[in-house]
C-alpha cells in the first residue's frame, strides 16, 4: 500500500471540482480489498476520520477531507470479468468511466449512465448515484448496479446482490461475510418523485444494494461492483438546434419530452423518443462563443438532443425537422453529427459549458454556485422563468444549462466580487428552497456532500436527519467514514 503525507504529494487530494478545499494527515492508497480492511480497522480503533476519494470530479466537497486520512481508490482499478453473453461487468471502483465505456463498447455493449464528466471513477458515480444526459431515457446509475462488495467502517466485509436482500417494510438486516447481523431501521421519509440524489435512498421493502448507492462514502467503501449492460444502440442521431426565442426552445423541449414519454409508454416505433434532451440559455451560448465561434449570433437558446433508431435515418430526421420547424428552430444552423467523431464533438460542446464554468470558478477562487435542482415536469417552465428572474433582479452574471428533459436545471452564478458571491449564496439557497417547496429536490444528481447539508435539513426536517444519523451509527459506531457528508458530524 502506498502512503503519502508530504505536502506536495497530497495537495491534489484536498480539493474537488467545486473548488471546495480541505486538509488531512495522510493519503492511503490500498491495492486490494485486504488493504482497505486494514486501513479501516486501524482508523476505527483510533477513531480517526476517513474520507474516501474517487477521482475528485465531485461538485459538493464530498471527497474533500476535513482532517483525518484520505483513502484513495485509484489503485483498485482492475476489470475483473466482462460476460458478453450475460451482458454483465464485474470491476473495481477505481476504473475511469471513460475506460469502462470504451471497454464495453468495443464488445458492442453499452453502459448508459453518462455524467457529463467521464473522467470520474465508477465507484464515485455509484457513491453519488450519478446521472447524465441519457438519464432522460435510461435513468440514473442505480438502475445498472447489480452487486456490490463493501468494506464497512469497522472493517467487516459484505457482499450484496440485487434481489437477494429485501427490507421487511423499513427493517433491513445485513449479514456480513463473517455472519455478523446488523439490524437497521430505515428512515421512512417520502423521497421526491423527481430525479433525486439527496440523502439516503430509503423506501419500504427496498433492496439492500440501493442503500449504498448514493450514500456518498458514509456507509462503507465500495471495493467491487457488478453492473448490468445493454446492447449498444445501432444508430444515434445527435443534433444541436438553435432558437431565436427562448420560449420557442422551451416549447420544443416540452413537446419532445411529452412525445418521448408517449412513445415509450405506448411502445410506438418510428416515433420521437429522445435519449438526451439538454438545454443552453443565451448566456451559456455567449460563454461558449470564444470556443465555438460558429454559434449563430441570433441564438437565444439551444437544445442538444440524441435519438437512437433502427431502420431509415431519413424517416427520423424528417420527424425531428418537422418539430424543429413547428417551433421556429433555426433550420439553417442545425448542427447534425454525421459520424462518431462529430457525435463526440457535440457531446464535448455540452461538456465544455460545465468545464468552462468550473474553470471560471477556480480561476477566480470562488466555490461553485451552481444549482442542481429538479422539479416536477408540470411545474418546470414556471419554476425556470421565476428562477432566472430572481437572479437577474440581483444583477449577478449567470449561465443556465442542464438536463431539461428531466426538469433539472444547472443555473451557475459567476460572481466577480466577494460581495456578489455572498449575494449569490443567498439566491442559491432561495432557489433550492423553492425547488423543495415545489415537490422537487435541491440535488438531482451531484449529492449533498459537505456543502449542502443545511438544505437536506430543509428538505426532510431534523427528525429525519436524526433517523439517517442513527442508521449510519449502526454501521459506523465510531463515526469515522465520510464525516460531514450528507449531515454534519454530530
By CB under 6 A, is residue 132 in contact with ligand FAD?
yes
User: Angle at CA 336, nearest 5°, toward 355 and 250?
Assistant: 70
Give the nearer residue to ligand FAD in terms of CB position, either 55 or 196. Answer: 55
Query: Residue 88 pairs with which residues in a beta bridge?
Result: 83, 228
Give the nearer residue to ligand FAD in terms of CB position, either 14 or 62. Answer: 62
By CB under 6 A, is residue 237 in contact with ligand FAD?
no
By CB under 6 A, is residue 408 in contact with ligand FAD?
no
30's CB contacts (< 8 A; 6+ apart) are: 1, 36, 38, 39, 71, 75, 76
Distance between CA atoms of 340 and 334, rounded to whole angstroms? Answer: 17
3-state helix, strand, coil in the chain (%, to 5): 35, 25, 40
Convert 393-413 to b/e letters by CB count within 10 Å (16 or more is b): eeebebbbbbbbbbbbbbbbb
By CB under 6 A, is residue 280 in contact with ligand FAD?
no
Q: What is the DSSP letter of 254?
A: H
Give the nearer residue to ligand FAD in terms of CB position, either 41 or 390. Answer: 41
By CB under 6 A, is residue 147 in contact with ligand FAD?
no
Which of 19, 20, 44, 128 binds ligand FAD (CB under 6 A)? It is 128
By CB under 6 A, is residue 465 in contact with ligand FAD?
no
Which of 384, 421, 485, 487 binds ligand FAD (CB under 6 A)? It is 485
What residues numbered 49-78 form the site for ligand FAD, per CB under 6 A?
51-59, 62-63, 73
By CB under 6 A, is residue 10 in contact with ligand FAD?
no
Span of 5-13, 111-119, 305-313, 462-470 interacting with ligand FAD by CB under 6 A: 111-119
Which of 30, 68, 112, 123 binds ligand FAD (CB under 6 A)? It is 123
Distance between CA atoms of 378 and 111, rounded to whole angstroms? Answer: 30
Span of 23-31, 99-107, 117-125, 303-311 interacting with ligand FAD by CB under 6 A: 117-125
225 neighbors 113 (Cβ within 8 angstroms):
no
Give the nearer residue to ligand FAD in terms of CB position, either 150 or 431. Answer: 150
Q: Quick one: which H or E segment has residue 196?
A: none
Strand ranges (E), 113-220? 145-151, 157-161, 171-175, 181-185
Give the nearer residue to ligand FAD in terms of CB position, either 52 or 471. Answer: 52
Give the nearer residue to ligand FAD in terms of CB position, either 170 or 360. Answer: 360
Give the nearer residue to ligand FAD in terms of CB position, either 254 or 356. Answer: 356
Give the nearer residue to ligand FAD in terms of CB position, either 116 or 434. Answer: 116
Which of 154, 216, 246, 420 binds ligand FAD (CB under 6 A)? It is 216
Which of 187, 214, 217, 440 binds ligand FAD (CB under 6 A)? It is 217
State the cell numbers at 393.
433582479
State the cell numbers at 403.
438536463
- State in angstroms the smallest separation of the CB of 15 from ligand FAD: 10
Give the nearer residue to ligand FAD in terms of CB position, either 276 or 427. Answer: 276
Distance between CA atoms of 404 and 328, rounded to whole angstroms? Answer: 19
Strand ranges (E), 155-297? 157-161, 171-175, 181-185, 221-228, 230-231, 235-243, 274-281
Distances (CA, A) of 134 to 165, 216, 274, 352: 29, 22, 9, 17
- State in angstroms the smallest separation of the CB of 96 from ligand FAD: 8
Span of 118-126, 162-170, 226-234, 295-303 interacting with ligand FAD by CB under 6 A: 118-126
Show the binding pattern over residues 319-358: x = contacts ligand FAD (CB under 6 A), - = does not: -----------------------------------xx--x
- State in angstroms the smallest separation of the CB of 311 from ligand FAD: 30
Distances (CA, A) of 140 to 125, 129, 350, 412, 478: 10, 6, 18, 22, 32
Show the binding pattern over residues 428-457: x = contacts ligand FAD (CB under 6 A), - = does not: -----------------xx-----------
DSSP 258-322: HHHHHHHHTT-SSS--EEEEEEEEHHHHHHHTTT-TTS-TT-SEEEEEEEEESS-HHHHHHHHHH
- State in angstroms the smallest separation of the CB of 373 from ligand FAD: 14
196 neighbors 120 (Cβ within 8 angstroms):
no
Helix (H, G, I), strand (E, B) or coil at 411: strand
244's CB contacts (< 8 A; 6+ apart) are: 298, 299, 300, 328, 330
316 neighbors 340 (Cβ within 8 angstroms):
no
- State in angstroms the smallest separation of the CB of 73 from ligand FAD: 4
Give the nearer residue to ligand FAD in terms of CB position, either 150 or 324. Answer: 150
**Residues making contact with ligand FAD (CB under 6 A):** 16-17, 51-59, 62-63, 73, 93, 115-117, 120-121, 123-125, 127-128, 130-132, 216-217, 221-222, 354-355, 358, 445-446, 482, 485
Amino acid at each position: 500500500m502506498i502512503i503519502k503525507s508530504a505536502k506536495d504529494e497530497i495537495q491534489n487530494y484536498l480539493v474537488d471540482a467545486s473548488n471546495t478545499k480541505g486538509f488531512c494527515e495522510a493519503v492511503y492508497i490500498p491495492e486490494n480489498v485486504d488493504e482497505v480492511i486494514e486501513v479501516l480497522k486501524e482508523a476505527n480503533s483510533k477513531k480517526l476520520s476517513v474520507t474516501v476519494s474517487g477521482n475528485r470530479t465531485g461538485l459538493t466537497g464530498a471527497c474533500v477531507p476535513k482532517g483525518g486520512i484520505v483513502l484513495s481508490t485509484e489503485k483498485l482499478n482492475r476489470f475483473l470479468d466482462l460476460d458478453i453473453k450475460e451482458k454483465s461487468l464485474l470491476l473495481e471502483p477505481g476504473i475511469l468511466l471513460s475506460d469502462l465505456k470504451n471497454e464495453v463498447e468495443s464488445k458492442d455493449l453499452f453502459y448508459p449512465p453518462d455524467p457529463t464528466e467521464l473522467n470520474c471513477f465508477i465507484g464515485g458515480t455509484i457513491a453519488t448515484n450519478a446521472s447524465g444526459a441519457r438519464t432522460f431515457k435510461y435513468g440514473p446509475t442505480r438502475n445498472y448496479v447489480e452487486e456490490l462488495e463493501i468494506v464497512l467502517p469497522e472493517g467487516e466485509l459484505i457482499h450484496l446482490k440485487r434481489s437477494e436482500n429485501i427490507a421487511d417494510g423499513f427493517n433491513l438486516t445485513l449479514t456480513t461475510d463473517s455472519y455478523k447481523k446488523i439490524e437497521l431501521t430505515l428512515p421512512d421519509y417520502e423521497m421526491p418523485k423527481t430525479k433525486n440524489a439527496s440523502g439516503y435512498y430509503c423506501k419500504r421493502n427496498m433492496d439492500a444494494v440501493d442503500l449504498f448507492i448514493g450514500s456518498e462514502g458514509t456507509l462503507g467503501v465500495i471495493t467491487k461492483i457488478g453492473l448490468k449492460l445493454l446492447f449498444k444502440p445501432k444508430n444515434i442521431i445527435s443534433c444541436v438546434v438553435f432558437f431565436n426565442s427562448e420560449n420557442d426552445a422551451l416549447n420544443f423541449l416540452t413537446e419532445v419530452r411529452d412525445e418521448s414519454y408517449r412513445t415509450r409508454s405506448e411502445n410506438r416505433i418510428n416515433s420521437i423518443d429522445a435519449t438526451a434532451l439538454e438545454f443552453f440559455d443565451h448566456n451559456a451560448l455567449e460563454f461558449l462563443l470564444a470556443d465555438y465561434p460558429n454559434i449563430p449570433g441570433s441564438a437565444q437558446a439551444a437544445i442538444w438532443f440524441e435519438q437512437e433508431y433502427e431502420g431509415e435515418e431519413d424517416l427520423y430526421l424528417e420527424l425531428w425537422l418537422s418539430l424543429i420547424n413547428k417551433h421556429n428552430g433555426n433550420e439553417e444552423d442545425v448542427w447534425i453529427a454525421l459520424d462518431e467523431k462529430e457525435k463526440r464533438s457535440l457531446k464535448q460542446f455540452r461538456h465544455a459549458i460545465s468545464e468552462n464554468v468550473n474553470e471560471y470558478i477556480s480561476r477566480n477562487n470562488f466555490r461553485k454556485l451552481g444549482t442542481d435542482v429538479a422539479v416536477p415536469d408540470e411545474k418546470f417552465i414556471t419554476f425556470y422563468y421565476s428562477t432566472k428572474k430572481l437572479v437577474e433582479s440581483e444583477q449577478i452574471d449567470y449561465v443556465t444549462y442542464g438536463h431539461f428533459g428531466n426538469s433539472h436545471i444547472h443555473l451557475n452564478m459567476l460572481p466577480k466580487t466577494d460581495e456578489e458571491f455572498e449575494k449569490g449564496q443567498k439566491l442559491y439557497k432561495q432557489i433550492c428552497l423553492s425547488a423543495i417547496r415545489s415537490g422537487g429536490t435541491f440535488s438531482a444528481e451531484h449529492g449533498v456532500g459537505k456543502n449542502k447539508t443545511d438544505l437536506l435539513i430543509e428538505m426532510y426536517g431534523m427528525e429525519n436527519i436524526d433517523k439517517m444519523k442513527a442508521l449510519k451509527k449502526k454501521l459506523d459506531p465510531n463515526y469515522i467514514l465520510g464525516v460531514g457528508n450528507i449531515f454534519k458530524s454530530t
